[in-house]
Structure formats: structure tokens, C-alpha cells
């Protein structure tokens, strides 16, 4: 074959190769795979299970190198304390820092009573905190029964009976239910507190409709919690609003039916 013929044949073969390569590249939907097309490598597209057969994408997964978990510091020393003036003084942000704590605030909840901020300890009963005064509160003992116990103690013939400490303060539905005479202090005090915080013992209990209605008729709002949370809430609200606005009736945390 003459050289011109060889040159023409070479041009034809190059043109055919170029057209075939163009069709192959055009059939590829991922433009980022040109380097693989030029090296004549066959692509295997990964189809998403939710995608249609017509939509095919190529995924280029990059291997991630996970860093090993950092070990816990061997020492808790964080260096000398900072002397910067920009540190936040949280004590200065306490709006009650200059407000005196009420003397009837609860310092500790005991199994059989309470310890007050004034140093007074109430034992053998609950606490009724009204108007800045603290009263020993025993709603499980009626008024007549308490008078009989006091009289018998004076003459030395009193013997503790199960009715003295085992009178139920919860009804058959598990609701806190006491006699009206248990709220005698609230009936007499004036002006009456705006809110009564009731601590029902070691666990919270719903208040019966009769007890709730009686307190509402006195013009007092009622908040019910377990004794620990009720004592904490009374300390906060009595400091914020005053002991004339907030009262508390607390059952000891050791009380059991």
C-alpha cells in the first residue's frame, strides 16, 4: 500500500476511534469519570434502591480515618486560677443575696418533723407555717382527741394508742383528705395568705374535692407537692414574696399510712 493510502486509512481509523470514544463518554452520566473513560475502564454505576433505572449516579467514597479516642487526663490540675477582670461573678447575679432568709424557712426535713432556720425543731408532727409563725400540725389527730391527750398527760395516765398516730390522712382513693378543723389556723388568720403549699409526705398525693373546696372557699390558692419539694418551694417563694403571702402545710417525710 502506498504511503498516501496508509495515511488516509490511519485518518479513517482515528476518526472512527474518536466517534466511538465520544459515544462512550456521552453514555456516561457522571462527568467526573472522564479519567476512567479515557483509560477505557468500564464503570459499574451504583443504583439507589429508591431511584428509577433511568437515574444512575456514581458515588466516590472517600475512606475516612477515625481518630483514636483521647485518653482521660491524668491530673485534674488546670493551672493557676485566672485573674482576668472579665470573669462572671455569679454571686453578684443573685437577686436575693441581700434579702434575709425567713425564720420559718425549712433547713431540713426530718422523718418525724422539721428543722427551721430559726433553730427551732418540730418533732412528732408536721409543720403549719403561716404569717411568719410556725405551728406543730397533726392533722391525723382530731381536736377532741388532742385535748384528751393533753389532759391525760397532765395527770400522768396517758398511754399512746394506735389512733394517736395512725389516723389516716388519705381516703380509700389515695387522696389527701383531712377534717376542716385541721385548717383552724387558716380560718382565724387575717389577712389570709395568697398561696398555700401543701406537702403530702414522702410522695405526692392528689387532694380530695372536699379539702380543695374548703381551702378555695377561704380565698387561698393551693399548690400540692411532696414534702421535700414543697419545703424548697416555700423557702424560695417566702423569700421572694414574703411570709404574709405564702403559707405551707407539711407532713413529715417519714409518715406512713
What is the 3-class SS of 199-216, one letter each residue? ECCCCCCCECHHHHHHHH
Output the pTM of the full model.
0.58
* pLDDT of residue 155 exceeding 80: no
φ, ψ of residue 35 in degrees (nearest 5): -65, -30
| pLDDT average, residue stretch 237-254 | 94
* pLDDT > 50? residue 197: yes
Q: What is the Cα 8 distance to its own chain's centre?
A: 86
Tell me which H or E stretch contains 238: helix 227-241
Taking only the tens place, the pLDDT of each residue in 28-84 is 555 555 555 555 555 555 555 555 555 555 555 556 666 677 777 777 777 787 777
User: Hey, is 135 helix, strand or coil?
Assistant: strand
Res 153: pLDDT: 39
Alpha carbon distance 127, 144 (integer Å):
20
Answer with the residue of higher pLDDT: 54 or 130.
Answer: 130
Residue 87, sorted as left (phi over 0), alpha (psi -120 to 50) or beta, turns out to be beta
Amino acid at each position: 500500500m502506498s504511503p498516501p493510502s496508509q495515511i488516509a486509512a490511519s485518518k479513517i481509523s482515528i476518526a472512527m476511534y474518536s466517534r466511538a470514544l465520544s459515544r462512550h463518554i456521552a453514555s456516561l452520566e457522571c462527568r467526573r469519570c472522564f479519567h476512567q473513560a479515557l483509560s477505557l475502564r468500564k464503570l459499574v454505576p451504583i443504583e439507589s434502591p429508591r431511584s428509577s433505572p433511568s437515574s444512575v449516579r456514581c458515588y466516590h467514597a472517600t475512606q475516612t480515618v477515625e481518630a483514636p479516642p483521647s485518653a482521660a487526663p491524668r491530673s485534674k490540675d488546670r493551672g493557676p486560677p485566672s485573674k482576668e477582670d472579665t470573669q462572671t461573678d455569679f454571686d453578684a447575679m443573685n437577686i436575693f443575696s441581700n434579702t434575709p432568709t425567713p425564720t420559718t424557712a425549712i433547713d431540713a426535713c426530718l422523718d418525724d418533723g422539721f428543722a427551721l432556720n430559726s433553730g427551732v425543731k418540730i418533732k412528732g408532727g408536721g409543720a403549719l407555717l403561716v404569717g411568719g409563725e410556725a405551728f406543730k400540725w397533726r392533722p391525723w389527730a382530731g381536736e377532741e382527741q388532742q385535748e384528751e391527750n393533753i389532759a391525760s398527760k397532765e395527770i400522768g395516765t396517758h398511754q399512746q394508742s394506735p389512733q394517736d398516730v395512725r389516723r389516716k390522712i388519705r381516703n380509700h382513693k389515695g387522696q389527701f383528705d383531712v377534717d376542716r378543723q385541721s385548717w383552724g389556723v387558716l380560718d382565724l388568720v387575717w389577712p389570709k395568705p395568697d398561696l398555700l403549699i401543701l406537702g403530702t409526705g414522702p410522695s405526692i398525693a392528689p387532694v380530695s374535692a372536699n379539702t380543695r373546696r374548703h381551702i378555695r372557699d377561704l380565698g387561698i390558692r393551693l399548690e400540692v407537692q411532696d414534702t421535700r419539694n414543697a419545703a424548697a418551694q416555700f423557702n424560695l417563694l417566702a423569700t421572694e414574696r414574703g411570709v404574709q403571702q405564702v403559707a405551707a402545710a407539711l407532713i413529715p417525710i417519714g409518715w406512713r399510712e
